[in-house]
Amino acid sequence: MAFGPMKHKKMKTEAPLPAKLEASADHLLSVGLDLCHWFSVAALNRTVPPDLRLPTFDRSDPLALLIGNTRAVWPPFMRHLREQLGGDAGAAEATVVQEMVALGGHPLDEWVTQQIADALLMVDCPHALSLGHVMQPSPPPLQRYAEASGFAPLGRGKLSLHPLHGPWISLRAVVVFDAPADAAPHQSSSKVAPSCAACTAPCLTTEVHAPTAEILLKMLSSERRRWIAARQACPVGQGSCFSDAQLAFHYADRGLSKEA
């Protein structure tokens, strides 16, 4: 796992740090990166193996932020995709998704990277950023950080489970700030998802029925549609399921598909 250079840009205003952190989280929210979980690095580092510990800036307890999203990311990202494809605001979602996937690459990862960079520019504080999709030298174990920081435990199907949105969340990045944990703009929710222990949902069985929406049949193999079915089998957060177009985009085969 690699943490990016600890750089920052001075803001002209002298707003207190929690206010700047809040402004930065507001930016993320406005682009659909709507899950911001503030946590204490010291508390996390006490529970993870030494090789997974987060940097501390020589502080006893620095502040960290886990960034993720629900399906709220889709409308702003679709606007961006439409611009990329020449600005046809009326183009059908299915067409945009198919054209974008055909072009290859990882436009969502690129767009998320830009949005997070913009948000961090608003914070006048050194930080270390680790993006979930950066695979060299190794990807940050975001699911483990989500669990160890009390945000979302790993479910039986090996997907992180949010108390409200269930498995329908994506994890994007972790940032450590050279600031004390109590500079967090607000307390993160202490709700946790229900345990899978007593659940009888068929997420791990072959009983799940692969979805058959037209765009999914057109773009995804039956194996990939079964991955979706397993996620849909979770009883938690069913109202937060991604749309068919979003599913087609996330689950499309791009070699090592990891955007969802």
Q: What is the DSSP string of 42-90?
A: HHHHHHS-GGGPPP-TT-SSEEEEEEEE-GGGHHHHHHHHHHHTT--TT
Least distance from C-beta 11 to ligand B12, angstroms?
29
Least distance from C-beta 68 to ligand B12, angstroms?
7
Least distance from C-beta 89 to ligand B12, angstroms?
27
Nearer residue to ligand B12 within complex by CB, 91 or 204:
204
Least distance from C-beta 224 to ligand B12, angstroms?
7
Nearer residue to ligand B12 within complex by CB, 71 or 250:
250
Least distance from C-beta 51 to ligand B12, angstroms?
9
CB 181 within 8 A of CB 42: yes
In angstroms, what is the C-alpha Rg of the chain?
A: 19
Interface residue list for ligand B12 (CB under 6 A): 132-133, 139-144, 157-160, 167, 169-171, 227, 250-251, 256-260
Least distance from C-beta 13 to ligand B12, angstroms?
33
Least distance from C-beta 153 to ligand B12, angstroms?
10
Nearer residue to ligand B12 within complex by CB, 66 or 122:
66
Nearer residue to ligand B12 within complex by CB, 89 or 256:
256
Q: What is the DSSP string of 197-240?
A: TT----TTSTTPPPP--HHHHHHS-HHHHHHHHHHHT-STTGGG
DSSP state of 133: T
DSSP state of 183: G
Nearer residue to ligand B12 within complex by CB, 39 or 227:
227
Nearer residue to ligand B12 within complex by CB, 91 or 196:
196
202 upstream amide cis, omega within 30 of 0: no
Pairwise CA distance, residues 123 & 21, whole Å: 6
Nearest one of 37, 82, 33, 84 to 187, comparing CA atoms: 37
Q: Give φ, ψ of 63 to 5 degrees.
A: -95, 140
The order of strands in the sheet holding 170-180 is: 35-40, 62-69, 170-180, 127-131
**Residue whose beta carbon is closest to ligand B12:** 158
Nearer residue to ligand B12 within complex by CB, 18 or 107:
107
Pairwise CA distance, residues 104 & 129, whole Å: 26
